[in-house]
A and B are shown apart, each in its own frame.
Chain A
Amino acid sequence: KAGVTQTPRYLIKTRGQQVTLSCSPISGHRSVSWYQQTPGQGLQFLFEYFSETQRNKGNFPGRFSGRQFSNSRSEMNVSTLELGDSALYLCASSSRGQTSGETQYFGPGTRLLVL
């Protein structure tokens, strides 16, 4: 079974631009959670999508948004990029998501650098 894939793996943008990141979950998984990881703040939950619906959102500004498609693939968008958005963005998939104690499988991440 193929693992979680994320594209692109690396990205360089400038302040004020917007960016879209993509995540393809493991086949059959309906939950996709997004995380931001930085050296200063550690790993932080952004949001979770389950069956095309956002179930929960972490403490991030409205510039961070996402969506999920009927095939469970998910995208997240960051608008009006700031230098502080430079981070590793990880997605994780599972069957039932954050309502259960099942394993979440992380993708390799997209490393975003904002200049």
Chain B
Amino acid sequence: GQNIDQPTEMTATEGAIVQINCTYQTSGFNGLFWYQQHAGEAPTFLSYNVLDGLEEKGRFSSFLSRSKGYSYLLLKELQMKDSASYLCAVRDPGSGGSYIPTFGRGTSLIVHP
């Protein structure tokens, strides 16, 4: 099973940089995902990390340290449209030969002018 912690809410200013942290405790590990979910909409995939290090994708970057059970999502040059909930999800092996994702409760990011 998994235990995933991320802050409930964060606020930031347009144009700034924000880092959303995620810590997890796992009995197994097969990758960590970040999703963005706008209010009233379905989640959309942002990133996937399975090895330690930083993955950069445009304004968004995601970092993973497996030994520390820690990840962060870094958002640069914040825009108003980045106001959303950011979900961290960790996968561990299930019994069916595949993997089961467990999601954190999400971090609600509010970007203000």
Contacts and interface: CB of A to CB of B under 8 A. Distances in A.
Contact of B105 (A42, A55, A104): A42
Nearest to A103: B45
B102 interface: yes
Kindly state the interface size class of chain A when it binds its partner: 20 to 34
Contacts of B101: 45, 98
Interface string B52-87: 000000000000000000000000000000000001
Interface in A70-115: 90, 97-99, 101-109
Interface residues of B, number: 25
B50 interface: yes
Interface in B9-49: 31, 33, 41-45, 48
A29 B33 CA distance: 20
Contacts, number: 60
A56 interface: yes
B97 interface: yes
A56 to B, nearest CB: 4
A43 B98 contact: no
A109 B37 CA distance: 13
Interface in B79-107: 87, 89, 91, 94-106
Contacts of B106: 42-43
Contacts of A55: 94, 96-98
Contacts of A97: 98
The 5 A-B residue pairs with the shortest CB-CB distance in the complex, in nearest-first order? A56-B94, A106-B42, A55-B98, A101-B48, A43-B103
Interface of A: 42-45, 48, 50, 54-58, 90, 97-99, 101-109
Given A43-B103, A45-B102, 18 more contacts: A42-B103, A42-B105, A42-B106, A43-B43, A43-B106, A44-B103, A45-B100, A50-B98, A55-B96, A56-B98, A56-B100, A58-B100, A90-B43, A98-B91, A99-B98, A103-B48, A106-B43, A108-B41
